[in-house]
Amino acid sequence: MSEPGAGTTDGTGPTATAGSTAAAGESTGSDLAVHLDGITKRFPGVVANDGVDLRVERGTVHALLGENGAGKTTLMNVLYGLYEPEEGRVVVDGEERAFDSPQDAIDAGIGMIHQHFMLVDPMTVAENIALGNEPTKWFGMAVDRERIDREIRDLCDRYGFEVDPGATVEDVSVGVQQRVEILKALFRGADVLILDEPTAVLTPQEVEGLYDVLEELTAQGKTIIFITHKLEEATHAADAITVLRDGESVGTVDPNRTTREELAERMVGREVLLEADSEPVETGEVVLSADGVTVEDARGVEVVSGIDLDVRAGEILGIAGVDGNGQAELVEAITGLETPDEGTIAYEGTDITEWSRRRRIENGMAYIPEDRHERGLVMPFDLVENGVLGSQRSPRFANGGRIDWTGVRSHTEEIINTYDVRPPDADADASSFSGGNQQKFIVGREFERDPSLVVATHPTRGVDIGSTEFIHDRLLELRREGVAILLVSSNLDEVQALSDRLAVIYEGEFIDVTDPADVTEEEIGLLMAGQRPGQEAAGSPNAGDRR
């Protein structure tokens, strides 16, 4: 048994784990649900996994922790049959397997719940769960809906899920949708569940509910592997944590015998400052203001309801909320991607409600979008081409109507080096980079525009702890330089640590605006779920409460 915090630190092999998890080198095939032995997976110019060993004991929760590009998702894609390794063995329940597809993995009892749920919104819970695997009756002439409903209810009763099989997916909460994804895997007979960043879109209360679900699943013999970059999540929920760095394992540790600081150092290879140092600064004039902004979606439904806000120079205004509560539409109105149906938006005292996106960029508004693929990058373009997006008409990069590609390349390479984009290849297509490295490039491009206003939407989503530290430091540096920052994030630690004021959005309204130092994470979570200050129970505010 290892000493607290002990184990290899040079990445040469796994460490012993304590508690309920046996030493990695001592586990036998009989108590292992999954054994990945010496897995190597290469892509052009990149070794994503380099001889990785992973031993996961049956009936446990095992966290896979690491930076972006460390090889976590690639390793799980090997286990799920999406990739075939060049070297190594996949052993499930003591039997060596060769998966040619995810269906082979599903047949072997492996299920995967992706960060972005694979659900059909207009369909019911039951239809989503059984989709592609529907039992039939009358010699295959009809779907046996009664059997589907019965089996789903049996699963809900067995694992303590409160899910209505007849509910439409688009009408249930994000936390329930996640349970639907888990039920879908269980319905297909999964004994090993892989969860990719499982708490990314959940409120604190939903996160606690997920932990209860994991506990019940493992109590009944299921095995959980979850990919995460959140230290708190790994140490709270896991029985064992395997850390990957640069495609190699740097050890498996017992969360009860290590610290967040030690885990962060294993991930990054250096000491990491986990708390942002947000010292108060003197604010200046109002840079951004919104007055009565109302936005309707394509169906004519009001998704932003008369919001007022202002952000001053040298201030970070944070907006917290569960995805889908109007923050995306509010940001689109502010950045010029949509025109509000009512209300006005002013920038440095000028009404810009009708300004184009390009004009806003030219006047110093930088924007980190929520969806990096749809709004942040042109995926088939290389990084040089993506580096000039939004600035292709700027005198800095254009002369006489022609783009100075030499200058653009130099600028792009500076972003790559400063923001540690991996691999450091300016000529590679954006689509070839991991999500975290795509995010780092977008952040770098927007921060380096010399802005007076930054609208940062989930700036560290999918980004590793080392890069998160860098991005937070850069946001605070911009704040000290007098830049106004509107920060939209579902990461409560992030908005609480960085914001000078915090607005919580629910169903298109600011349900409260407060000093983040004056509220707890639990109180913010209740606000995010729709409970106004003074209410006894969470829920949608009634018409009389709407502002």
Residue 5 lies in a domain: yes
Q: Quick check: helix, strand or coil at residue 63?
A: strand
Q: Is residue 510's pLDDT more than 60?
A: yes
Distance CA 542, CA 304 (A): 16
Judged against a pLDDT cut of 50, whether residue 87 lies above it is answered with yes
pLDDT band at 20 (very low <50, low <70, confident <90, very high): very low
Same domain? 355 vs 500: yes
In a domain, 463, yes or no: no
Judgement on whether residues 350 and 400 belong to the same structural domain of the protein: no
Highest mean pLDDT of the ranges 73-87, 190-204, 389-403, 423-437 = 73-87
CB neighbour list of residue 219: distance below 8 Å, 6 or more residues apart: 59
Residue 455 domain-assigned (yes or no): no
Domain hosting residue 143, numbered range:
117-189
Q: Which of 199-213, 356-370, 533-547 is the least confident region?
A: 533-547
| CA 409/CA 424 separation, integer angstroms | 12
Would you give the distance in Å from CA 289 to the centre of its chain? 29
Quick one: pLDDT at residue 274?
Answer: 64
pLDDT of residue 334: 98
**CATH number, position 501:** 3.40.50.300
Least reliable range by pLDDT among 176-180, 425-429, 499-503: 176-180
Q: Mark whether 204 and 63 lie in a shared domain.
A: yes
CB neighbour list of residue 184: distance below 8 Å, 6 or more residues apart: 111, 128, 129, 131
Task: Give the pLDDT band of residue 19 (cuts 50, 70, 90).
Answer: very low
Output the pLDDT for position 529. Answer: 84
Tell which phi-psi region holds residue 450, choosing left (phi > 0), alpha (psi between -120 and 50) or beta.
left
Average pLDDT over residues 88-115: 93
pLDDT in tens, 314-368: 999 999 988 889 999 999 999 999 999 999 999 999 999 999 999 999 999 999 9
Give the residue from 155, 189, 223 where a domain finishes.
189
Residue with tokens 């639990």: 522
CA distance 222 to 191: 5
Q: Look up residue 363 and give its two tokens.
A: 């006047």
What confidence tens digit (pLDDT) does each residue in 376-433 have? 999 999 999 999 999 999 999 998 889 999 999 999 999 999 998 988 999 999 998 8
| pLDDT of 45 | 78
pLDDT at 29 over 90: no
| Cβ contacts of 252 within 8 Å, gap of 6 or more | 7, 14, 15, 16, 17, 21, 24, 54, 55, 240, 241, 242, 243
Q: Are residues 213 and 80 in the same domain?
A: yes
Task: Clarify whether residues 100 and 179 are in a common domain.
Answer: no
Residue 45's region, left for phi above 0, alpha for psi from -120 to 50, else beta, is left
Q: What is the CA radius of gyration of the chain?
A: 24
Written as six digits, the tokens of 62 are 């095992």
- Region at 69 (left for phi over 0; alpha for psi -120 to 50; beta for the rest): left
One domain, residues 11 and 125: no
Strand partners, 291: 344
pLDDT of residue 539: 39
Mean pLDDT over all residues of the chain? 86
Answer whether residue 276 is part of any domain. Answer: no
Identify the pLDDT of residue 7.
Answer: 39
Q: Could you tell me which residues are beta bridge partners of residue 317?
A: 486, 501
Check pLDDT > 90 for residue 25.
no
Q: Among 33-42, 91-100, 346-355, 484-493, which stretch is predicted with the lowest mean pLDDT?
A: 484-493
Q: Identify whether residues 19 and 88 lie together within a single domain.
A: yes
Query: Half-sphere exposure (CA, 13 Å, Cβ side) for 247?
Result: 14
Task: Specify which residues 513 forms β-bridges with.
Answer: 503
- Does any domain span residue 181? yes
Core vs surface per residue 18-57: b (16+ CB within 10 A) or e: beebbebeebeeeebbbbbbebbbeeeebebbbebbbbbb
Instruction: For residue 309, give the nearest of 88, 67, 484, 530 by alpha carbon.
Output: 484
Structural domains in the chain (count)? 4
What is each CA distance from 4 to 11, 55, 126, 150, in whole angstroms?
18, 20, 46, 48
The confidence band for 534, taking pLDDT boundaries of 50, 70 and 90, is low
pLDDT of residue 110: 96
Q: Give CA separation, 431 vs 300, 321, 378, in Å.
A: 34, 29, 8
What pairs with residue 223 in β-bridges?
192
Please tell me whether residue 25 adopts helix, strand or coil conformation: coil
Decide which of 271, 296, 329 is a domain's last residue. 271
β-pairing verdict for 453-457 and 484-489: parallel
What is the band of 3 on the pLDDT scale with cuts at 50, 70, 90?
A: very low
CA distances from 247 to 40, 349, 460 (A): 9, 50, 21
Instruction: For residue 13, name the pLDDT band (cuts at 50, 70, 90).
Output: very low
Q: What are the tens digits of pLDDT across the range 476-500?
A: 999 999 999 999 987 888 899 999 9
Q: Provide the percentage of residues in the chain whose pLDDT is more than 90.
A: 58
Q: Are residues 85 and 15 in the same domain?
A: yes
**What are the E-state strand segments in 297-415?**
302-312, 316-320, 342-347, 350-351, 365-368, 398-399, 402-403
* pLDDT at 23 > cutoff 60: no
pLDDT tens track for 223-242: 999 998 788 889 999 999 99
| pLDDT for position 15 | 37
Contact present, 290 and 334 (Cβ < 8 Å): yes
Residues 346 and 381 in one domain: no
Helix H or strand E segment including 252: strand 248-253
Q: What does the pLDDT read at residue 38?
A: 97
pLDDT > 60? residue 67: yes
Residue 246 CB partners (closer than 8 Å, separation 6+): 11, 50, 69, 70, 71
Indicate whether 350 and 380 sit together in one domain: no
For 111-152, the pLDDT digits (tens) are 998 877 788 989 999 999 988 777 777 776 777 888 888 899
- 222-233 burial by CB neighbour count: b if 16+ within 10 A, else e? bbbbbbbbbbeb
Q: How far apart are CA 294 and CA 342, in angstroms?
A: 5
Among the candidates 216, 239, 271, a domain finishes at 271
State the pLDDT confidence band at 103, using cuts at 50, 70 and 90: very high
Which amino acid, one-letter code, is at 35?
H
Decide if pLDDT at 211 tops 80.
Answer: yes
Do 256 and 141 share a structural domain?
no
Q: For the stretch 402-433, what's the b/e string if a residue is b when 16 or more beta carbons lie within 10 angstroms of its beta carbon?
A: ebbeeebbebbbebbeebbbbeebbebbbebb
Rounded Cα distance, 241 and 391, in Å: 44
The answer on 213 and 87 residing in a single domain is yes
Distances (CA, A) of 272 to 5, 324, 416: 16, 33, 21
The answer to whether residue 158 sits within a structural domain is: yes
Mean pLDDT of 518-542: 70
User: Looking at residue 407, what is its pLDDT?
Assistant: 95
Whether 472 is covered by a domain: the verdict is no
Torsion of CA 194, 196, 200, 204, to 10 degrees: 20
Name which of 353, 358, 355 is nearest 295 in CA terms.
353
Over pLDDT 70: what percentage of the chain?
89
Residue of 91, 21, 90 whose CA lies nearest to 49: 90
CA distance 268 to 67: 7
Mean pLDDT of 183-199: 90
Position 469 in a domain: no
